[in-house]
Amino acid sequence: MQTDDPAVAEIVDFISGEVGVDSNLLTPETPVSELGISSLDLIETIFKLESRFGIEIPNDGPLSGNDVTVGTLVQHVADLLAAQKAKTA
């Protein structure tokens, strides 16, 4: 997944490392289930993202369904990071 946004690139690299897939093979449209991430694994990945980036990802919202894509996950985390940065600015 190519991006010019350093925060998005860091999130993609983190997810890539978690699932063991080259970040260039991740596309925004790729369902996380196709990466071998079950719903339980997604919850674990979310906890790791929270810990890594110092954010809290709500249980409800775009990541609560079974059709979560890489793009949805990355954008949601990026939005939370941006909101956190805006609060501390």
Tens digit of each residue's pLDDT (9 = 90 or more) over 41-63: 888 989 999 999 999 998 888 88
Three-class secondary structure of residue 67 per DSSP: coil
Tokens of 29: 């449209």
- Residue 2: pLDDT band by 50, 70, 90 thresholds? low
Q: Are residues 75 and 29 in contact, defined by beta-carbon separation less than 8 angstroms?
A: no
Q: Are residues 10 and 54 in contact, defined by beta-carbon separation less than 8 angstroms?
A: no
Residue 66 has pLDDT above 80, yes or no: no
Superfamily for domain range 6-88: ACP-like (1.10.1200.10)
Model pTM above 0.85: yes
Residues 25-31: what's their mean pLDDT? 91
